[in-house]
Amino acid sequence: MLALDDELAQWEADLPQAEGEVRLQLLSRLAWHLRQRDPARAAQLIEEARAFAFLAPPAGRRVLAARWDLVQAEAHWLGGQLDAAAAVAEQAMLAFARQHDRLGAADTHALLAWIAVDRGDSAGCDNELALAIADARAAGDAMRIDIFESLAALFGVFRNAAAANERWSKRFTPELSGKHPAVAGWIADYLGTAAFQGAEFGRAISHLMAAFEAARISGQLRRAIILATNIGNAFTRLNAHDAALEWMQRGLELARPTGWPMCIGLCQMQAAETMRHLGQRQAAKGLLRDALQVLAPLSGSRAFVMALEYQGDHAAALASFRELEQRGHALAQSDFHSCARRGQAHALAGLGKLPEAQAAAESALALARELNDPLGQMAALRVLADIHAGNSLAVLQYLREALAITANIEGYIVPGELLDTVAREYAALGNFERAYEISVQANAARDRTHSQEATNRAIAMQVQHQTERAQTEGEHHRQLAAAEAQRAEVLAQTSATLSHLSAVGQEIAAQLDTSAVFRALDRHVHSLLDSTHFSIFLLEPGGDSLTCAFGVEVGLPLPATRIALSDPHFNTARCVRERSEILIEIEDKSDTPNLIPGTLPTLTLLFAPLTIGERVLGVMTVQSMLPRAYGERERLIFRTLCAYGAIALDNAAAQAQLLEKNLELERAYKALEDVSLTDQLTGLRNRRFFLQHVESDVALSLRAYDDPSASAAANDRDLVFYMVDLDHFKDVNDRHGHAAGDSVLVQMKDRLREVFRESDYLVRWGGEEFLVLARATDRSEAHVVAERIRQAVAARDFVLPDGTHLERTCSIGFACYPFLPAQPRLMSWSQVVELADLGLYISKHSGRDAWTAVYATDTAQPAELFPRLVHQLSACVERGEARIVTSLGERTIICP
């Protein structure tokens, strides 16, 4: 069911030499186990396998097709397309049932259970999981039985932890030696989740880390991402925020390339909660808002409900918490009920409805006690204390009870703000000695939970998130562009902007004094934004006024200015007071309000606070003489500049180190991406590169055929696919060794480059086989190129590393796209590649050292043309639907 990385490596090594039905089975096996590791390649392997499907007996063929459907269904599920996933899975289920394949049925029921989870259908999940277990038992598959039952235990914990542990604790124990890593990982996931629900966070982290590693090496990428966020959440509950953010980042790094909404949304949501605990409230709100948007297609899921839980923390959240309670009932997961009631109590108190708030908070406390949820109890007690604000005796009673509960949570660090509240209430009662003692404890707790490293990591995540949103905005504009030239211009502008922002970040962070930071910002802001006026105001030490620390207008320094923070007439002071961005747009320059003496009347004014966590350092403003100068894109750029400037002013050295690490990671990622697109032996591009680029060339060809103004005789509209295979290559390895074979392949690459243009794609397709895509090529001249390939190989010897000269030839097959010019969309490019492979087959089996192509004629019947050519080529030639063009001469042509 789940293969490990080393098993996949062996199958990958076996694939180039596999042929016939063995290759079919190997392709299918690899596609199944790559379904989360590399979904795009899994789909490509399935497409290749379909061409070999006829080799399997009818029953086996139907089972394979159902398994391929299941891979597609899982891809839909991962992408958040739940209806499409369910439809394809049900189709696969019908096929498995008809063939009495209980393992296939078990895997399908398991996928349907996950789809039900993401829909919030608890009953449906339970039903599908029970059917999966029954099918696994009928098939006698112990591994699936263990995995599905541990999954049932895991889901049971969310509904009723005590009942689930009573049922499953003897079945699944911490002793996991001897079990398959994937099985051990799912059991560890259940054990860790049970410990988490019981507030045993240290034990939970240990189990969840083991589960994460097992998920990673067994190809369960979605599970690994979710486990990373769960581990981070457990660290957050212990107030170990640095470790929490480390795991959140790990999850986000795994999730971003996938595009899977559940994974990305969950990572954003949990990172937002950790940032909130660190005081990065604005960044947390932005991340949480994006998480809810990403999770919108999965609005019935537990993840979406958790996002609702994190969203509401003030009076306006009453509707959110009521919705949370309703969704908690729908999910049949009791841990949300206490939270929902507690949130309603907090919101009702904010609305002044104290009796209703008291009832809701006491109900939340009672439910948390019933569930043996210590953190839930502590949170409910804190809400009760808030409701009784002003009654110090009552507040202290609730808070002392909360502190007593925390003493039983191993590894838990009491939040400094809770201890601060207790100290204030003791002081209000006149017990200053006890108040001082608690204050000292609060400072110590704050030092332990708010490390500089954790704060810097959170700020870096905030800046990264803003930059990603700028990238998204650029992508959105590119998609909306109506013409190719406009799209290219937007792309270039966005790329240049992001590149410039990256350079700005590096330069600012490298400065060691505020003057250098100001000069760096001034140098770059003018190239990114229209800015007649640019200035930075910083709060004075007393915090009651702002001073213009740096200001330039039309290249001249601004006069020294001091503004009282309480002054209602100045936007700089208002920006600090409200801690929010301000955009002023004026229609008539004569109406510019509150103009600083000695400055020009501008028409567009943008102000943003310079913030670090909850602290405001000052204000940055940029102003233009143009009307409506700053749209959303410009505002995103300005926010990013403000974030960089605030970080540099607060801690330039630390931020410089952090940004340098980010650059190293970016360079490493780019290098890794380049390696992943290149064949390491020959330096040619590989299949992955080809699959990433071929669609765009096909689209260009089709556009040329669709253009009514283009000449029908144009010779640059076609693509020609050449399949080139070295003859008797196996003999080279057998007689001279693999090093000699590698040398021949490298020399083969050089000869192909002699024949083809720089713009053509040369791809090592596998083993000794090469695929070449000749772009914008005249199909009538394709055979000339094929002959040049044949001569380039046969005309001179290959020289082995020991100096031996070796004669070798090659066989070539090629086909042109579109295959039928009159109907350019009749066949896909992959089908044309198969026809090129058909030509290679003819060359190989008719004597080698030759090239062969299959062309359609004007009398070809489009209906079912491709399968007729593949399976009845000779008949098609006899009927005049196709013709074979070859260099075989008088040799007998052998068709498949």
Q: Where are the domains of the chain?
A: 179-275, 470-667, 687-886
Q: Which residue has the tokens 């500049």?
A: 641
The closest of 356, 4, 400 to 180, measured between CA atoms, is: 4
**CA–CA distances in Å: residue 406 to residues 239, 386, 631:** 12, 18, 49
SS3 511: coil
pLDDT tens digits for range 535-544: 999 999 988 9
Q: What is the pLDDT of residues 816-825, one digit of tens each?
A: 999 999 899 9
DSSP string of 191-229? HHHHHHHTT-HHHHHHHHHHHHHHHHHTT-HHHHHHHHH
Residue 463's pLDDT band (cuts 50, 70, 90): very low
CA distance 40 to 493: 30
pLDDT at 711: 61
Using CA atoms, how far apart are residues 130 and 108, in angstroms rounded to an integer? 12
For 499-514, what is the mean pLDDT? Answer: 71
Q: What is the mean pLDDT of residues 569-595?
A: 81
H or E stretch at 264? helix 261-277
**Beta strands 562-564; 545-553: pairing state:** antiparallel
Alpha helices in 579-710 (DSSP H): 632-676, 687-706
Mean pLDDT value across residues 353-365: 83
pLDDT at 881 over 90: yes
Phi, psi dihedrals of residue 595, rounded to the nearest 5°: -70, 130
Label residue 408 by pLDDT band (50, 70, 90).
Answer: confident
Of residues 740 and 676, more confidently modeled = 740
**What pLDDT, on the 0 to 100 scale, is given for residue 459?**
44
Q: How far apart are CA 364 and CA 377, in angstroms?
A: 8
Q: What is the pLDDT of residue 434?
A: 84
Q: What mean pLDDT, rounded, does the chain reach?
A: 83
Number of Cβ within a 10 Å radius of residue 451: 14
Query: Is the model's pLDDT at 197 over the cut of 50?
Result: yes
**Mind listing the pLDDT tens digit for each residue in 803-860?**
999 999 999 999 999 999 989 999 999 999 999 999 999 999 999 999 999 999 999 9
- CATH superfamily for 179-275 is Tetratricopeptide repeat domain (1.25.40.10)
Q: What number is the average pLDDT over the span 79-100?
A: 93
pLDDT class of 269 with cuts at 50, 70, 90: confident
- Residue 483 pLDDT level (bands cut at 50, 70, 90): very low
Q: Which CATH superfamily is domain 687-886 in?
A: Reverse transcriptase/Diguanylate cyclase domain (3.30.70.270)
Q: What is the pLDDT of residues 139-160, one digit of tens each?
A: 999 999 999 999 999 988 887 8
**Pick from 365, 364, 344: nearest CA to 353:** 344
As separate numbers, helices (DSSP H) first and strands (DSSP E) second, the chain gives: 35, 15
Asked whether the predicted pLDDT for residue 177 surpasses 90, the reply is no
Q: What is the pLDDT of residue 598?
A: 60
Paired tokens of 863: 């209906």
CA distance 323 to 337: 11
**CA-angle at 18, arms to 12 and 19, nearest 5°:** 145
Q: Which pairing describes strands 798-799 and 805-806: parallel, antiparallel, or unpaired?
A: antiparallel
**pTM for this entry:** 0.48
Mean pLDDT for the stretch of residues 125-140: 93
Alpha helices in 15-119, H assignment, sequence order: 20-33, 39-52, 58-78, 82-98, 102-119
Confidence band for 485, pLDDT divided at 50, 70 and 90? very low
pLDDT for 355 equals 85
Helix (H) or strand (E) holding 317: none
Distance CA 374, CA 799 (A): 75
At residue 374, the pLDDT reads: 79
Q: What are phi and psi of 800, to 5 degrees?
A: -80, 165
Sign of CA pseudo-dihedral 444, 449, 454, 459: negative
- 593's tokens: 């309000």
Asked if the model's pLDDT at residue 724 lies above 70, the reply is: yes
Segment 308-321 mean pLDDT: 55
In this structure, of 143-157, 477-491, 598-612, 832-846, the range with the lowest mean pLDDT score is: 477-491
Establish whether the linkage from the previous residue to 818 is cis, with ω within 30° of 0: yes
Helix (H) or strand (E) holding 815, with range, is strand 810-817
Low-confidence winner among 444-458, 506-520, 613-627 (lowest mean pLDDT): 444-458
Tell me which amino acid residue 287 is: L
Inform me whether the pLDDT recorded for 589 exceeds 50: yes
Is 289 a residue whose pLDDT tops 90? no
Query: Does residue 746 carry a pLDDT above 50?
Result: yes
- Distance between CA atoms of residues 363 and 325, nearest Å: 13
pLDDT digits (tens, 9 = 90+) for 371-405: 777 777 877 888 888 888 778 888 888 888 888 88
| pLDDT band, residue 464 (cuts 50/70/90) | very low
Mean pLDDT of 89-109: 93
Instruction: Write down the residue that tokens 């943003």 correspond to.
Output: 608
Other beta carbons less than 10 A from residue 114's beta carbon:
21
CATH number of 470-667: 3.30.450.40
- One fold for 179-275 and 470-667: no
Indicate the pLDDT class of residue 333, thresholds 50, 70 and 90: low
Residue in the structure block whose two tokens are 């809701």: 360
Query: Given a cut of 90, is residue 74 above it in pLDDT?
Result: yes
Residue 335, classified by CB atoms within 10 Å of its CB into exposed (0-12), middle (13-18) or buried (19+), is: buried
**pLDDT on residue 652:** 57
pLDDT, residue 818, reads 95
Residue 730 CA neighbour count, 13 Å, CB half: 2
Q: Which residue has the higher pLDDT, 140 or 294?
A: 140
Whether residue 318 has pLDDT greater than 90? no
Q: Is the model's pLDDT at 471 over the cut of 50?
A: no
Enter the tokens of residue 644. 């960089």
Q: Which residue carries 């949304």 as its tokens? A: 265
Over 70: is that where the pLDDT of 622 sits? Answer: yes
pLDDT digit string (tens) for 697-715?
999 999 988 887 766 556 7
Which whole number is the average pLDDT over 97-121?
91
Give the mean pLDDT of 243-266. 86
CA gap 572, 619 in Å, rounded: 6
pLDDT over 70 (residue 604): yes
* Burial class (CB within 10 angstroms; exposed 0-12, middle 13-18, buried 19+) of 826: middle
Of the listed ranges 86-95, 258-267, 661-670, the one predicted with least confidence: 661-670
What is the Cα–Cα distance from 340 to 757, expressed in whole angstroms? 66
Cα dihedral value 348, 349, 351, 354, nearest 10: 90
Residue 417 has pLDDT above 60, yes or no: yes
Q: Cα(455)–Cα(645) distance, rounded to whole angstroms? A: 16
Which residue has tokens 């007593």? 404
Task: Tokens for 424, please give them.
Answer: 């204030």
Give the H/E segment covering residue 832: helix 829-845
Summarize pLDDT for 16-73 with one digit per residue, the tens: 898 888 898 999 999 999 999 999 999 999 998 888 888 888 888 899 999 999 999 9
